[in-house]
Amino acid sequence: MSWLRNLYNRIKLEIAYRKKLKELRKRDPFIYK
Amino acid sequence: MILVAGGDSIIWGSELEDSPHGGPDGYSRNTFAALLAGDEYHCSAYPGIGNSQIYSRIRDDLTWMKPCGVIVCWTWPSRDNELDSDKWIIGLQQYLKYHDYPYLFTCVDNCIITDNPAIDWDRWYMFPPGQGADQTETPRGFYQWAVENKYSIGADGHPLEQAHLDAAELIKEKFNELVKKSI
Please report the DSSP string for B59-76 in residue order.
HHHHHH---SEEEEEE--
pLDDT at A32 (0 to 100): 61
| CB atoms B76 and A17 under 8 Å | no
Helix or strand holding residue B113 (H, E): none
Query: How far is the C-alpha of B77 from the C-alpha of B86, rounded, in Å?
Result: 9
Looking at chain B from residue 137 to 156, which residues have their Cβ under 8 Å from any Cβ of chain A?
143, 156
Q: Is B8 touching A (CB cutoff 8 A)?
A: yes
Query: How far is the C-alpha of B151 from the C-alpha of B160, rounded, in Å?
Result: 7
| CB atoms A28 and B81 under 8 Å | no
Mutate to test the interface with B, among A19, A26, A28 (most CBs of B within 10 A): A28
Mutate to test the interface with A, among B49, B53, B78, B112 (most CBs of A within 10 A): B78
Please give the average per-residue pLDDT across B42-53, as a whole number.
96
Across chain B, what does the average pLDDT equal? 95
ipTM of the complex model? 0.82
Domain extent listing, chain B? 3-182
Please give the average per-residue pLDDT across B144-172, as a whole number.
97
Q: What is the CB-side half-sphere exposure of residue B129 using CA atoms within 13 A?
A: 6
A chain contacts of residue B75, beta-carbon cutoff 8 Å: 28
Please give the average per-residue pLDDT across B34-55, as a whole number.
95
Q: Which residues pair with B140 in a beta bridge?
A: B127
B chain contacts of residue A31, beta-carbon cutoff 8 Å: 48, 76, 78-79
Looking at chain B from residue 106 to 125, which residues have their Cβ under 8 Å from any Cβ of chain A?
109, 111
Query: How far is the C-alpha of B20 from the C-alpha of B28, rounded, in Å?
Result: 8
Cβ contacts of B105 within 8 Å, gap of 6 or more: B71, B72, B73, B74, B89, B93, B123, B124, B125
User: For the segment B113-155, what is each residue's pLDDT rounded down to a tens digit?
Assistant: 999 999 999 999 999 999 988 899 999 999 999 999 999 999 9
CATH 3.40.50.1110 is right for the domain spanning B3-182: yes
User: For the segment B10-39, what is each residue's pLDDT rounded down to a tens digit?
Assistant: 999 999 999 988 888 899 999 999 999 988
Query: How far is the C-alpha of B143 from the C-alpha of A20, rounded, in Å?
Result: 21
**Residue A11 CB neighbour total at 10 angstroms:** 10
User: For the segment B73-86, what is each residue's pLDDT rounded down to a tens digit?
Assistant: 999 999 999 999 99
In angstroms, the separation between the Cα of residue A14 and the nearest Cα of chain B is: 12
A chain contacts of residue B78, beta-carbon cutoff 8 Å: 21, 24-25, 27-28, 31
In angstroms, the separation between the Cα of residue A19 and the nearest Cα of chain B is: 11
